[in-house]
Amino acid sequence: MTGEITLRGKVLAIGGLKEKLLAALRAGIFEVILPRANDKDIAELPDNIKNSMKLHFVDSMDEVLALALEGPLPSAMPTETDVLAAVPSTERADNVPAPQ
């Protein structure tokens, strides 16, 4: 994986696309995620790369994660109440006797 993102999750263009894709192909990688800003560089790629690789173009890290991870991302972090509800009452700190 190579490239840069902004603090807000925007995926920035990369340089050396042809060389990176050739190296990936030689390493047995046939599916890659690329910045949408590099879409214009595809015309310069050899046909063997374009025909043998699946190229995904993305604008944001949300798109990268959706493609790279096996399952969907959770919609939100659990609340403290949700976390405490999952802990058995015998293990909660509020059930520990006060030190004497």
Tokens read off for 37: 């800003």
Question: What's the confidence (pLDDT) of residue 92?
Answer: 61
Query: Which amino acid type is present at position 46?
Result: P
Per-10-residue mean pLDDT for the chain, 100 residues long? 87 94 93 95 91 95 90 69 74 60
Question: What's the confidence (pLDDT) of residue 80?
Answer: 74
Question: What's the confidence (pLDDT) of residue 86?
Answer: 76
Q: How far is CA 5 from CA 26, 47, 65, 98, in A?
A: 26, 29, 13, 49
pTM: 0.67
By the 8 A CB rule, do 40 and 14 touch? Answer: no
Question: What's the confidence (pLDDT) of residue 95?
Answer: 57
Residues near 19 by beta carbon (within 8 Å), at least 6 away in sequence: none
Question: What's the confidence (pLDDT) of residue 98?
Answer: 57
